[in-house]
Amino acid sequence: MNEEKIIQLPEPTLRRLPWYLAYVNMLRTQNVEYVSSTQISRQINVDASQIAKDLSFLNIKGKTRIGYQVENLAVTLSNFLGFHNDHTAFIIGTGSLGSALIQDSGLMQYGLHIVAGFDVNPDIVGKNICGVPIYHISELAERQRQYNAAIGILTVPVEHAQESADLLSAGGLRAIWNFTPYRIKASEHVVIQNTSIYAHLAVMYNRINGNR
């Protein structure tokens, strides 16, 4: 059993770890060997003491006066975050955003492997997008037995969000990545991650107007 895998961090810490990783990966390409929490702090706008605390959750400790070893920090962070593992995913709704995500090879670099898409549109069902087969939504349970996907990505129109979430829960998927603005519900065994890019747009518009 891999102890490291089941550390449950506070969500704010979890969200900061990818920032540290992005920065140290950049240092790695510049062949920098050591970095201090003060240096990371200056780049990332997070208190140095907070950075040290976040990293201590992963048992990463810097050396006095020298700091963290860049290579080691990058590998430990990436392993902990699960970006090196292969997480299989279905995508539900292969309209504009759904097919865009299938085409985003960046997701693959972060360990997300989209293995199949589902839709109801007869123009799309039976075809494939970038090699990913698109099935009719009625085949979801059957295809889940074939693929055993862990994550369902929800990119359907808002009025189909809850019924699609129900299908994913019933199919035994373990997480739903919800891109719709609808607040879906699922059993407590299913992890729900909301990524409301349109809500972020609203926040940004409001801030722009406030800056006038």
Member of 3, 45, 64, 122 binding a copy of itself (CB under 8 A): 45
**32 contacts a copy of itself (rule: CB under 8 A):** no
Q: Which is nearer to a copy of itself, 5 or 53 (CB)?
A: 5
> Could you count the other beta carbons within 10 Å of the beta carbon of residue 72?
12
- In b/e form, how buried is each residue of 108-139, taking b as 16+ CB within 10 angstroms? eeeebebbbbbbeeeebbeeebeebebbebee
Q: Which helix (H) or strand (E) holds 87?
A: strand 87-92
Phi-psi region of 85 (alpha: psi -120 to 50; beta: other; left: phi over 0): beta
Task: Please work out the total of residues on this chain that contact a copy of itself, with binding judged by CB under 8 A.
Answer: 73
**3 contacts a copy of itself (rule: CB under 8 A):** no
Q: Which is nearer to a copy of itself, 122 or 159 (CB)?
A: 159
C-alpha 186/C-alpha 176 separation (Å) is: 9
Stretch that binds a copy of itself, among 55-63, 65-73, 163-171, 194-202 (CB under 8 A): 194-202
**14 contacts a copy of itself (rule: CB under 8 A):** yes
Stretch that binds a copy of itself, among 9-17, 49-57, 63-71, 117-125 (CB under 8 A): 9-17
Q: Which is nearer to a copy of itself, 101 or 167 (CB)?
A: 101
71 contacts 28 by C-beta, under 8 angstroms: yes
Phi-psi region of 96 (alpha: psi -120 to 50; beta: other; left: phi over 0): alpha
**101 contacts a copy of itself (rule: CB under 8 A):** yes
Q: Which is nearer to a copy of itself, 63 or 147 (CB)?
A: 147
**131 contacts a copy of itself (rule: CB under 8 A):** no
